[in-house]
Structure formats: structure tokens, C-alpha cells
Amino acid sequence: MIHIDDLLERMEALQASDLHLKVDQKPRYRIHGALEEVSGLPVLDRDTLVHLTDAILTDDQRCKLESGADLDFAYGNPRIGRFRCNYFTDHWGRAAVFRRIPTRVPTLAELNLPRSVERFAHLKRGLVLITGATGAGKSSTLAALVDVINATYRKHVITLEDPIEYVHPIKRSIIHQRGLHYDVMGFDQGIVAALRESPDVLVIGEMRDLDSIRQALTAAEIGVLVFATLHTNSAAGSIDRIIDVFPPHEQPQVRVQLAQSLAGVVSQALLRRKHGAGRVPAAEILVGNTAVSNIIREGRTQDILSVLQGGKSQGMQTMDDSLEALVQQGLVDVGEASLHAHNKPRFERLVGKAEEPARKRAAVR
């Protein structure tokens, strides 16, 4: 019978980011953003799938899964690498998704992110949000920023992750990586504990609820550099999400806190490359300044777009500007880019102008 390690080992050769297992289906790999069946693999019945996935569980993990809870954990060995694993149950039985974690922490340049993103690694304090949908590359961006700090400064970095993904080697900094449910019971509790451990930098895998957001704001307010992720797709949406999670009577004070502490927002989306393998990120980048603070304090998040458009000299850019650049560089197809555009009519006009010189050159040839 096939072993789960055999399926996972194939991922690197296939350049697959994910493996999906479902009862009565063949295993499917996500390759360059699309799910594909691979020839030679069997249809998995209920018993086979349970046998496959049980093979790498501890007794405690198996008990948790059998109790009806979803299960998130990291798995790996030197031969096949590391994977982020999620087990859950659907109508047909057990299901699982495995995401491959590269063994080496990528650089921001390798991720094809703008150079202005690196500025956030050199801050001494404040809150930096890395946002986007699931699978948008947030974990890789966080890891790359931590690696810049690790290689440049002698700092104490604490990460709170669910589960631990990239493993950071010791360079100049001391890095403590703590896994949810293993080293800490919750993000909010982990943040409280971290603040007693003299951190310079705190990385929060996800701000999931009011308590974790409250503690993250407190940490940034008292002078820690805090990186955290949110499942939002724009800078303005990220600000609104943080404020809206609080009861109405607390929101004025939260606006003041966020206005004082927000250092930046990087909102990401991953797009399929036009030519060749792989995907490339588009990113909206907001840098905290006096104008941003005033907008947050006064509840005028609709004006964030104007700040982004006027802040190019500070490294800011809108999502649509990023998408247009990717189209101009020939990295992304117009149709793919337009799916992620915020202002679709404006984006289509911009792209039309950008493509006009290329059409004229083609006509001359």
C-alpha cells in the first residue's frame, strides 16, 4: 500500500504547492495554482485514506481528530522536507490537505516583492499587517522579513504560529518559535506570555479574534515591532476589520491605538505567471504616516486610496498599480490580473493604454 511519504515526496518533482486527499477520489496536486490528478495513483476509499493519514499522527493528535475537531500540524523528515497539514471531515469521511514548506527561507527578492517591503524589517516598533486570502503567500513574506532581521540585527524574536512552518536558523538574532496547541494554547495567551520575555519583535501567525487583536495592539503600543496576518484583501479593509471586531463603545479608543501604532500594511494576491511555471505576487503597500494616522483616528478609511496613490515616493502602491506593472512586464495575463483588480474599469483602461505601444510595434513588424 502506498505511504503518505510517497505522495509527499512527489511534490517537489511536480513543483506542487499542495496535496489534496478526499474519499473516492484520486490524490490531486495543486501545480502552479491549479488542481491536477497525477497518473498512476489509485482512487482512495475511506479505509485507505484513514490508513494513509493516520500513519504520521501522534496518539494525542489521533484522539483530537476522532473527537470531531479539525487538526492543524507540521510534519516532515530530512528526506521529504516539511509540510503544513490540515485534517478535517466532510460528508464522505476524512479529508486532508498538505502544503509544502520550502526548507530554505526565501528572500523578498526571490518572492518578487517590491524593495519597499523590506523597510518594515528595519523598524524598531509598530504594527505591520501582512494580509491576503489563504494561499496568498503571507507566511513566506513573514518568514522573509524575519530573515532580514535575523541577518541584520541582534534582537529577540518570538513567533507564534499554527503550525510552525519555516524553521529559522540562528544568525545574529535569537529566535523562539512557538506552536499553537503545543507550546502555547492560544494566540492571545501567547502574546501575553511573550511580553514577559523581553521581545524586540513579535510575529503573530494570525489575528483571529478580538482578544488576539487587542493583545497585538497593546504589544505594538508599548514599543514592540509586531508582524501579524489578517484575511483581508486591502489596506483599508484591514483597518476596518481591526476596528469593527471591537464593540461600538470601544471603537473610538481602538482608533486612537491603531492610529498611533500602525506602521504599514502589505496586502497580497498570488497570480499565475503568463509564461512558464509558478506564480507571482501582486501587492498593495501602505506605509504609516501622519496622513494615515489622521484617517484612522477620524474614521475616513475611504481616503486610504488617495494616500496610496500619492505615496509612491515613500514606497506605497495600490493593488491595481501592482497588477498593471505585472502586465507591463509580461509576467501576468490581463485576464488573470483583472480578476484581482479593485477598480476593474480603471484597471482595464490603464492596461489598455499600457498595451497600446506593444500593439503598434507588433503591427509594424
Question: pLDDT tens digit string along 301-330?
Answer: 999 999 999 999 999 999 999 999 999 898
Whether the Cβ atoms of residue 304 and residue 327 lie closer than 8 Å to each other: no
What pLDDT does 306 receive? 96
Q: What are phi and psi of 361, to 5 degrees?
A: -65, -40
What pLDDT does 18 receive? 94
CATH topology of domain 4-101: Beta-Lactamase (3.30.450)
What value does the mean pLDDT of the chain take? Answer: 92
Integer Cα distance of 98 and 100 in angstroms: 7
Integer Cα distance of 27 and 19 in angstroms: 7
Angstrom distances, CA of residue 363 to CA of 37, 82, 334, 350, 357: 41, 50, 20, 21, 10
Query: Is 160's pLDDT higher than 90?
Result: yes
Cell representation of residue 240:
476596518
CATH topology of domain 115-317: Rossmann fold (3.40.50)
What pLDDT does 357 receive? 54
Predicted TM-score (pTM) of this structure: 0.84
Cell representation of residue 296:
484612522
The residue type found at 322 is S
What pLDDT does 365 receive? 56
What pLDDT does 34 receive? 87
Q: Using 50, 70 and 90 to split pLDDT, how confident is the model at 173?
A: very high
Give per-residue pLDDT as tens, 98-146: 999 888 899 999 999 999 999 999 999 999 999 999 889 999 999 999 9
Query: Is 352's pLDDT higher than 80?
Result: no
Region of 230 please: left (phi>0), alpha (psi -120 to 50) or beta.
beta
Residue corresponding to grid cell 480603471: 346
Q: Using 50, 70 and 90 to split pLDDT, how confident is the model at 231?
A: very high
What torsion do the CA atoms of 304, 256, 239, 302 make, to the nearest 10 degrees?
-30
Q: Using 50, 70 and 90 to split pLDDT, how confident is the model at 77?
A: confident
- Residue spans per domain, the chain: 4-101, 115-317
What torsion do the CA atoms of 76, 86, 158, 247 make, to the nearest 10 degrees?
180
Q: What's the CA angle centered on 122, arms 120 and 123, to 5 degrees?
A: 70
